């Protein structure tokens, strides 16, 4: 595990300074292959110079906006801003929160009714295409174009395109950017003379090194790895974060879920099998009953100082500076998720060693495909809401996303909002004011920047019925595999069969078109 300083920089990004952060933020102007992030009829005229609201908010006295989102994080972020918005505008915002897995079905039932209860939702963007296709969502293009205070062009182009735009029309306002990162205890690795793992095999080795040792000084053996595998919630996200590094190697436009020419699932192959093996092997270095480790519990174990490594969204460094939650303040390092020196050659179907042809974006022979898990929660408005309610709902979304509010909210771990605006990377001052050391802030923002600027970043599944593919087929199969109820081969067969059935039911050609569009492919 003794790596060169160059490798150490790429993996740990421990001493990135202001200039690197700024340049990384500017790199975010890259487009998805074949897809302009500034369509001529979409890109609004918005200044990115100011971080203050440029005009007083409109009054909405007597108007109630019914909003729904997931409980816990995200819901807490909205809840935090509602009182001040109500005070500034006279509107009433009624927030309803549901468990993660119930939001999609609840919205489908509500918005398909003649008189929907909910006027607005903050939801996963990969599910929104179903609502767009059903004409449930308000087209926000004109509103965004006219909204200078929103500072649309300050939103990282990746998130504008992936989270909010469909067929060159704007249907959502991003409030969050989502991606998985590797987190590690800087103090533990430094003392052990180790550097952050570059591959998943390295991850297992580092986890093994620390597992069973007392990592927080309380006399109790602790854990090498904390990866939440909670069935029905985050398990399929975490598995996908491992699998993408084995399945996608030729850039974002290649995709990691299906063959973009045939829509054949990229499942029954040695690369997917390797990902299943790694996912299961992490259990050996996790908490008891690791296969059912809940999302919140994994975070609590890490923040208590009882874990050396974990994979999670961008919340960990901001949660780690909360003295009421954390015993690892400024002891958390962030890096791009591990990769692999072997990948699936999608042309031949073989699991092969990286070379410049198969892995053109490899770093020192290692293919990284960091996973944009969940893409980032986005606000949308029901097309059936009353006109004045739509106005108030949009005003609330804009207010939440404007830099004056958003650039503070992303520094607070309890909100669930992660950096998604260029301005959030330009100045480390808000992060230092929130409690991060300058080194920790540079490390964290640098890790995000390296992740989002990676030309091989893997997109979360964004096509009609994504929920069925992920939560109804992949997730239960993974749960049974981790429990030892089915073999690796049975798992792959079950996922492939289930995915093929959905594709054929919905329509292979239409699904292929949607999948290719999501990857930025023209046809």
Phi-psi region of 394 (alpha: psi -120 to 50; beta: other; left: phi over 0): alpha
Concatenate the DSSP letters of all residues of 239-279 into one string.
HHHHHHHHH--S-GGG-SSB-TTT--BS-SSHHHHHHHHHH
What pLDDT, on a 0 to 100 scale, did the predictor assign at position 95? 97
pLDDT in tens, 446-455: 999 999 999 9
What pLDDT, on a 0 to 100 scale, did the predictor assign at position 99? 87
What pLDDT, on a 0 to 100 scale, did the predictor assign at position 518? 92
Structural domains of the chain, count: 1
In three-state secondary structure terms, 285 is helix
Dihedral of CA atoms 401, 421, 457, 282 in degrees, nearest 10, equals: -70
d(CA 82, CA 78): 6
pLDDT in tens, 97-122: 998 878 999 999 999 999 999 999 99
The DSSP symbol for 137 reads: B
pLDDT in tens, 164-207: 999 899 999 999 999 999 999 999 999 999 999 999 999 999 99
Q: DSSP strand E in 5-99: where?
A: 64-70, 92-98
Its domain, for residue 251, covers: 5-15+193-373
380 within some domain: no
What confidence category does residue 288 fall into, taking pLDDT thresholds of 50, 70 and 90? very high
Which pTM does this prediction carry? 0.89
What pLDDT, on a 0 to 100 scale, did the predictor assign at position 127? 87
249 within some domain: yes
What CATH number has the domain bearing residue 266? 3.40.190.10
Q: What is the mean pLDDT of residues 225-246?
A: 95
Mean pLDDT score of the chain: 90
What pLDDT, on a 0 to 100 scale, did the predictor assign at position 431? 96
Q: Is the pLDDT of residue 262 over 80?
A: yes
Q: Are 61 and 392 in contact (CB under 8 A)?
A: no
Angle between helical axes of 235-247 and 270-281 (0-180°, round to 10): 130
Between 407 and 520, name the one with better pLDDT: 407
Q: What residues contact residue 424 under an 8 Å CB cut-off, 6+ apart? A: 403, 406, 407, 410, 430, 445
45 within some domain: no
Residue in this structure with the two tokens 């199969």, named with its chain if needed: 477
Helix residue ranges, H only, 248-365:
270-281, 295-303, 316-320
331 within some domain: yes
Q: Are 162 and 462 in contact (CB under 8 A)?
A: yes
What pLDDT, on a 0 to 100 scale, did the predictor assign at position 523? 59
d(CA 214, CA 304): 12
pLDDT in tens, 20-73: 333 343 444 334 433 332 233 333 333 333 344 445 789 999 999 999 999 988
Of 345, 272, 259, the C-alpha closest to 521 is 259
pLDDT in tens, 125-138: 988 899 999 999 99
Task: Calculate what percentage of the chain has a pLDDT beyond 70.
Answer: 89
Dihedral of CA atoms 382, 385, 389, 391 in degrees, nearest 10, equals: 60
Query: Any idea which of 149-163, 292-306, 509-523 has the lowest mean pLDDT?
Result: 509-523
d(CA 81, CA 399): 9
163 within some domain: no
């Amino acid at each position: 595990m003794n790596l060169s300083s160059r490798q150490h920089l790429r993996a740990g990004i421990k001493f990135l300074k202001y200039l690197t952060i700024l340049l990384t933020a500017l790199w975010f102007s890259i487009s998805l292959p074949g897809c302009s992030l500034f369509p001529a009829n979409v890109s609004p005229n918005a200044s990115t110079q100011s971080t203050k609201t440029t005009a007083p908010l409109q009054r909405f006295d007597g108007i109630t906006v019914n909003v729904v989102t997931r409980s816990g994080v995200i819901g807490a972020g909205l809840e935090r801003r509602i009182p001040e918005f109500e005070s500034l505008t006279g509107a009433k915002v009624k927030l309803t929160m549901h468990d993660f897995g119930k939001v999609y079905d609840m919205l489908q039932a509500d918005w398909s009714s003649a008189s929907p209860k909910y006027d607005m939702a903050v939801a996963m963007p990969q599910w929104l295409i179903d609502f767009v296709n059903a004409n449930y969502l308000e087209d926000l293009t004109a509103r965004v174009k006219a909204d200078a205070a929103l500072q649309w062009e300050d939103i990282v182009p990746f998130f504008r395109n992936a989270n909010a735009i469909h067929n060159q029309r704007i249907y959502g306002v991003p409030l969050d950017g989502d991606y998985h990162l590797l987190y590690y205890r800087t103090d533990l690795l430094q003392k052990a003379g180790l550097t952050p793992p570059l591959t998943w095999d390295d991850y297992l080795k580092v986890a093994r090194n620390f597992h069973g040792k007392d990592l927080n000084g309380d006399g109790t053996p602790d854990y090498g790895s904390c990866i939440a595998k909670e069935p029905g919630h985050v398990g399929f996200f975490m598995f996908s974060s491992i699998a993408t590094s084995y399945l996608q190697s030729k850039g974002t436009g290649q995709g990691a879920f299906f063959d973009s020419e045939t829509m054949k699932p990229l499942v029954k192959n040695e690369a997917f099998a390797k990902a299943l093996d790694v996912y299961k092997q992490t259990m050996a270095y996790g908490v008891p009953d690791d296969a059912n480790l809940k999302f919140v519990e994994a975070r609590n174990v890490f923040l208590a100082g009882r874990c050396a490594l974990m994979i999670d969204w961008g919340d960990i460094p901001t949660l780690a500076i909360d003295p009421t939650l954390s015993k690892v303040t400024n002891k958390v390092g962030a890096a791009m998720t591990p990769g692999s020196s072997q990948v699936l050659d999608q042309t031949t179907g073989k699991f092969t060693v990286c070379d410049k042809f198969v892995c053109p974006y490899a770093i020192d022979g290692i293919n990284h495909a960091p996973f944009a898990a969940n893409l980032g929660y986005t606000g949308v408005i029901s097309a059936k809401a009353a006109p004045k309610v739509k106005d108030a709902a949009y005003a609330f979304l804009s207010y939440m996303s404007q830099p004056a509010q958003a650039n503070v909210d992303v520094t607070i771990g309890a909100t669930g909002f992660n950096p998604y605006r260029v301005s959030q990377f330009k100045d480390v001052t808000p992060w230092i004011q929130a409690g991060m050391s300058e080194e920790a802030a540079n490390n964290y923002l640098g890790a995000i920047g390296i992740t989002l600027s990676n030309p091989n970043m893997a997109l979360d599944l964004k096509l009609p019925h994504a929920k069925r593919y992920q939560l109804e087929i992949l997730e239960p199969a993974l749960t049974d595999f981790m429990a030892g109820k089915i073999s690796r081969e049975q798992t792959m067969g079950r996922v492939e069969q289930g995915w093929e059935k959905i594709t054929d039911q919905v329509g292979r050609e239409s699904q292929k078109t949607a999948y290719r569009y999501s990857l930025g492919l023209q046809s």
